[in-house]
Amino acid sequence: MNRGSDHKEQFYGLDTINVHFLDKASKLPLVISPRFDDSIEFICTWLKENRSWVNNQMQHYGAVLIRGFQIDSPVDFEMTTLALDPNLSDKYRGTSPRSLQKDTKYA
């Protein structure tokens, strides 16, 4: 796998990732994994470019699992999440205590 992008121009279509089901019998959850480039830069750009498609898949399947990319810290997780939804709310409405991770607003 490419551990970073050396290309100035890159195509971010569906053929640049793998899409499959974790459990083929139940067809849940839908999994997005690297095909060529597993860098956080790639998945963040890919999510921005394909936001509508990913949101449609989440509505259809209830969830999308993004795995195999270089998302190694709470900061990386937050960056990836914001790539998919830049308008996240930081208003916590749950009943369980929540502790933010260092250097994050949402994770």
In a 3-state reduction of DSSP, which class is residue 10? coil
**Rounded Cα gap, residues 49 and 83, in angstroms:** 9
pLDDT of the residue at 5: 43
Determine the pLDDT at residue 80. 97
Low-confidence ranges of the chain (pLDDT < 50): 1-9
> Residue 93: its pLDDT value, please?
64
Residue 76 CB partners (closer than 8 Å, separation 6+)? 40, 70
Nearest to 83 by CA among 28, 55, 46: 46
Maximal C-alpha separation, the chain: 46
- Cα distance between the two ends of the chain: 27
Residue 24 has a pLDDT of: 85
pLDDT of residue 49: 94
- pLDDT value at position 32? 96
Enumerate residues 6+ apart whose C-beta is below 8 A from 27: 21, 61
